[in-house]
Amino acid sequence: MPTIEELNGLAKAVAQAGDREAFAALFKHFAPRVKAYLMRSGTAEGLAEELTQEAMVSVWRKAAMFDADRASVSTWIFTIARNLRVDHFRHQGREPVGAEDLDCDAIASTTPSPDEQMAIWQRETGMRDALRQLSEEQAEVLRLSFFEDQPHAQIARELGIPLGTVKSRVRLAVNHLRRLLDAPEP
C-alpha cells in the first residue's frame, strides 16, 4: 500500500507536469477502490465502471486545483467520487449543487503555516489509526453512513434499532473519532 506522501507526490506530478506514469499509478491504486465504493453504494457494475473512469478523468482535469498541503489525495478523490455519484443519482444529470469538490482555494489561498500543516497531517495520517480504534459498532455505523447510500432511517431498519439510536451512535462515533485525532496516542 503506497503511503499518503507517495500518493500526494503522484498527484503533484500529474498537476505540475501532466505526468502520465504518475496518473497510471494513481489509477491503479484508486480506480478499483472508487469502483468498489460506487458498487457498495448501490451502483450496478457497468455504471460503476463508467463512473469510475469519469471520476479518474476528473482527477486528471482537476489535478491543478488539488492542494497537497491541505489534504491527502484519498480525501480529495473521495469527494470527487461522492459528488459524481450524487450528481448522477440525485440531480438526474442536471446542474449539481451542495457539496463541492474539496476546493482548497475556497478555504484559503495562502500556504498553510507550519503549525496548520502539522495539524492537517496529523489528521490525515491519524485517521486510519483512529478508525481502527473505534468499536465495531461505531465503525459499522460510519461505514454504513458512507458506503450504503442509506439515510439513517434505512440504517435503523437494516440494523433493527430505533432511528434515535442510529443518530446517537453516529454522534458517539464521530465524537470518539475527534477525540482520537486530538490525542493520537493509544
Per-residue contact string for residues 70-89; x = within reach of other proteins by CB under 8 A:
-xx-xxxxxx-xxx-xxx--
DSSP string, 117-180: HHHHHHHHHHHHHHHHHS-HHHHHHHHHHHHS---HHHHHHHHT--HHHHHHHHHHHHHHHHHH
Q: Does 186 bind other proteins (CB under 8 A)?
A: no
Among 9, 19, 152, 159, binds other proteins (CB under 8 A): 152
Among 151, 158, 162, 179, binds other proteins (CB under 8 A): 151
- For other proteins, give the closer residue by CB, 45 or 111: 45
Residue 2 CB, nearest approach to other proteins (Å): 10
Q: Write out the three cell numbers for 181.
A: 485525532
- For other proteins, give the closer residue by CB, 111 or 122: 122
Among 21, 36, 47, 69, binds other proteins (CB under 8 A): 36
Cα dihedral value 41, 46, 50, 55, nearest 10: 20
- For other proteins, give the closer residue by CB, 107 or 118: 107
Residue 160 CB, nearest approach to other proteins (Å): 18
Report 90-119 residues binding other proteins (CB under 8 A).
90-100, 102, 107
d(CA 15, CA 129): 29
Estimate the share of the chain in helix, then strand, then coil, as percent rounded to the nearest 5: 75, 0, 25
